[in-house]
Amino acid sequence: MRRMKAHPAHTDATDWVAYRPDIKVLDCTVRDGGLCNDHKFDDTFVKRVYNTCVAAGVDYVELGYKSSRRLHKRDEFGLWKFCDEDDLRRIVGDKPAGPKIAIMADADRTDYKTDILPKSKSVIDCVRVACYINQVPTAIDMIKDAHDKGYETMMQLMAVSIVPEDEIKGALELTAKSPANGVYIVDSFGALYSEQVRKLTKMYLKAMAGTGKEVGFHGHNNLQLGFANTIEAIVAGANRVDATISGLGRGAGNCPMELILGFLHNPKYKLRPVLEACQDVFLPMSRDMDWGYSIPYAITGRLNRHPREAMAWRASKTPDDYITFYDKMHEEPG
Amino acid sequence: MRRMKAHPAHTDATDWVAYRPDIKVLDCTVRDGGLCNDHKFDDTFVKRVYNTCVAAGVDYVELGYKSSRRLHKRDEFGLWKFCDEDDLRRIVGDKPAGPKIAIMADADRTDYKTDILPKSKSVIDCVRVACYINQVPTAIDMIKDAHDKGYETMMQLMAVSIVPEDEIKGALELTAKSPANGVYIVDSFGALYSEQVRKLTKMYLKAMAGTGKEVGFHGHNNLQLGFANTIEAIVAGANRVDATISGLGRGAGNCPMELILGFLHNPKYKLRPVLEACQDVFLPMSRDMDWGYSIPYAITGRLNRHPREAMAWRASKTPDDYITFYDKMHEEPG
């Protein structure tokens, strides 16, 4: 199958102004952004994000995690760590007509057999199962469970920049045989360069060939490459991409929704409501909440390390002491 | 000639950890940054940038323009609009041993015959001639003049994202026949996507093939692609790249020096002095001076328009009224 490329600078002149209708955008502002504040968003904020996605024509909106109540104390986290059915319905109504509703379920942190209801009892459309490479069998079981309950499912293999190629291929083989509707390249550390994104996208597409499963990309902005890498994945053939309004997300944040919608040129997407939300909500919020590119994230990204030390540094009393952080990261093994 | 690729994700496993010694980095912090404040930097700042470049092992440092005194009133601009020999020497000494010293000369705005001294009387090593497509013949004359005086010269064809391909090719043909040592792809509007950068880089390389002239890239960060596009140019074969400390530069700024040095892996480059300058100088400066990505720049970048309206908007009393700016830009022809 020839995948029409997405955007400018193609040999075929019409591609300059065309778009690829099969690309679908998932907004994970509330889900990934929740990693910045223990998911403590109020209803006003979550409704605004949801309504913005409706107005912008975004295809999916992911509102949080389905975390185990046994493992996580309810009073330490906001509602969107758990995404109870009643909370979801308060935001999206009983029969949401806009974007599909997604939630994320972490391997080994979700009581999925009980907490993920049969589809007929839920407004959720899509369960995205997140796992590290050692959790793939658990994730596959979770995908089967959600699939059998009636959901669309996605495999989110995290931290792929530190997984040996053979193991990625093993995970992709298992995913190809599973009922998952697709698999995402998840650059958890924001450490991938564009060539690596192109290579991985081709590897994932090859592994999914003939299954009808989609390939997606979820980037982080540690090296100011969140948007750039998302474009590269699209050009290499990925059809699913994650973005967040104003790039809100853990650490250096994600691919900004306002940039990716502008790039895609699909007339169903509307940029203006996203810019309104940036202006009304996210810019004021950025004065009190630290997310987005800064040098500590560039340091962990370049070293291909988890951003946790950079996040702790940015939350410390010396967030802008780049040099001490740089020296610390270079003294400690990765 | 096979150009070894720059960096990760190559089929040849050794390329993952190799570097390309022929890549040279030019710091244009003072020159492009000067477009944010009419070149009114004090000596302390300029010396710090210069000394940082020395310590970081950067190959060239560009300190400003050689602007015509007839066309520009001296009291309206800082020293680095003119780069008088005495001013340069006060910063770099009489025999600078570190990076080569570059200045920029704008076509039609430089009294080059008189103001650019013979090389024997100047600490300047490299004259970069900037022009729009209609000024190419003037620029070629300026390049000949500077070459005859003993300088290395570079052709900087600006705003290439709005120049028809045939005209770019014409300019490249003239440049190939000129004594210029190289030619830069200059994305003045920060409007190019990576595929366009790859295509242009290949076009420029082809036009320079056999001449020994280098191809370079100068990006802007309107779409958060300043660093990403610089990498793409390198991977496609460009050997000269521009960067600025902390991305300081007109409007949305440039490719950050701290990111590109981290990418290049050449052991002669030292990242730590650049991070020190970011921490000590540029972070405090950013509280009083507006540069770097913001939504008005994303709007002009996406529309492939000059950032002047976005710069004016950011300097107005309503810099964060994105919606009014968006509507204004979409009502007015490009």
DSSP designation for B35: G
Q: Average pLDDT, stretch B45-57?
A: 98
* Domain identity same for A36 and A160: yes
Contact of A190 with A242, CB cutoff 8 Å: no
DSSP H helices, chain B, are: 29-33, 43-56, 85-92, 112-115, 136-148, 165-177, 194-208, 226-236, 257-264, 272-277, 283-286, 295-302, 308-314, 322-331
Tens digits of residue pLDDT in B232-280 = 999 999 999 999 999 999 999 999 999 999 999 999 999 999 999 999 9
Interface test with A, best of B193, B202, B302 (most A CBs within 10 A): B193
* Domain identity same for A205 and A90: yes
* Domain identity same for B55 and B80: yes
pLDDT greater than 60 at residue A114: yes
Q: Does residue A6 form part of some domain? A: no
What does pLDDT average to over chain B? Answer: 95
| Residue owning tokens 């203006």 | A272
* Domain identity same for B324 and B237: no
Tens digits of residue pLDDT in B158-168 = 999 999 999 99
The CA-atom distances, in angstroms, between B25 and each of A122, A302, B224, B258, B263 are 56, 19, 20, 12, 12
Tens digits of residue pLDDT in A151-175 = 999 999 999 999 999 999 999 999 9
Half-sphere exposure at residue B8, Cβ-oriented, CA atoms within 13 angstroms: 16
Residue A15: per-residue pLDDT: 61
Considering only the beta carbons, identify the residue of A9, A199, A298 that sits closest to B199: A9
Percent of chain B clearing pLDDT 90 (strictly above): 94
Which chain B residues are closer than 8 Å to A9 by Cβ? 193, 195-196, 198-199
Beta-carbon separation of B321 and A295 below 8 A? no
Among chain A residues, the shortest Cα distance to B197 is held by A9
Percent of chain A clearing pLDDT 70 (strictly above): 95
Higher confidence at residue A14 or residue B112? Answer: B112
Residue A101: per-residue pLDDT: 98
Q: Average pLDDT, stretch A105-109?
A: 97
pLDDT greater than 90 at residue B190: yes
CA gap A43, A84 in Å, rounded: 13
Beta-carbon separation of B194 and A195 below 8 A? no
ipTM of the complex, rounded to two decimals = 0.94
Beta-carbon separation of A279 and B321 below 8 A? yes
Q: Does residue B199 form part of some domain? A: yes
Residue B178: per-residue pLDDT: 98
Residue B18: per-residue pLDDT: 86
Q: Does residue A218 form part of some domain? A: yes
pLDDT greater than 50 at residue B4: no
Q: Does residue A3 form part of some domain? A: no
Q: Does residue A15 form part of some domain? A: no
* Domain identity same for B270 and B317: no
Residue A332: per-residue pLDDT: 78
Tens digits of residue pLDDT in B215-237 = 999 999 999 999 999 999 999 99
Provide the shortest C-alpha distance from residue B252 to chain A (in Å).
Answer: 13
* Domain identity same for A319 and A228: no
The CA-atom distances, in angstroms, between A99 and each of A50, A147, B5, B160 are 9, 19, 42, 39
CA gap B200, B207 in Å, rounded: 10
Which chain B residues are closer than 8 Å to A272 by Cβ? 323, 326
Residue B334: per-residue pLDDT: 63
pLDDT greater than 90 at residue B332: no
Q: Average pLDDT, stretch A27-40?
A: 97
Residue A6: per-residue pLDDT: 52
Tens digits of residue pLDDT in A61-76 = 999 999 999 999 999 9
Beta-carbon separation of B193 and A231 below 8 A? yes
* Domain identity same for A267 and A299: no
Contact of A158 with A191, CB cutoff 8 Å: no
Interface test with A, best of B221, B295, B300, B314 (most A CBs within 10 A): B295
Alpha-carbon dihedral angle through residues B54, B56, B58, B60, given to the nearest 10 degrees: -30
The pLDDT-based confidence of B86 (bands split at 50, 70, 90) is: very high
* Domain identity same for B100 and B236: yes
* Domain identity same for A319 and A279: no
The pLDDT-based confidence of B11 (bands split at 50, 70, 90) is: very low
Q: Does residue B85 form part of some domain? A: yes
CA gap B330, B299 in Å, rounded: 9
The enclosing domain of A61 has a CATH number of: 3.20.20.70
Q: Average pLDDT, stretch B36-62?
A: 98
Angle formed at CA A40 by CA A36 and CA A42, multiple of 5 degrees: 125
| End-to-end C-alpha distance for chain A, whole angstroms | 41
State how beta strands A24-27 and A60-65 pair. Answer: parallel
Contact of A104 with A130, CB cutoff 8 Å: yes
The pLDDT-based confidence of B93 (bands split at 50, 70, 90) is: very high
Tens digits of residue pLDDT in A178-236 = 999 999 999 999 999 999 999 999 999 999 999 999 999 999 999 999 999 999 999 99
Residue A172: per-residue pLDDT: 98
* Domain identity same for A308 and A182: no
Residue A16: per-residue pLDDT: 59
Q: Average pLDDT, stretch B319-331?
A: 97
* Domain identity same for A277 and A310: no
pLDDT greater than 50 at residue B9: no
The pLDDT-based confidence of A4 (bands split at 50, 70, 90) is: very low
Residue B66: per-residue pLDDT: 98
Q: Does residue B1 form part of some domain? A: no
Q: Range with the lowest mean pLDDT among A288-297, B12-21, B167-176?
A: B12-21
Q: Is A255 left (phi over 0), alpha (psi -120 to 50) or beta?
A: beta
Per the structure, the complete domain to which residue A274 belongs is given by 20-286
Contacts across the A-B interface (CB distance below 8 Å): 113
Q: Does residue A58 form part of some domain? A: yes
* Domain identity same for A200 and A309: no
Q: Which residues of B63-91 are buried (b: 16+ CB within 10 A; e: fewer)?
A: bbbbbbeeebeeeebbbbbbbeeebbeeb
Tens digits of residue pLDDT in B274-315 = 999 999 999 999 999 999 999 999 999 999 999 999 999 999
Domain count for chain B: 2
Tens digits of residue pLDDT in A254-275 = 999 999 999 999 999 999 999 9
Residue A17: per-residue pLDDT: 77
Higher confidence at residue A7 or residue B277? Answer: B277
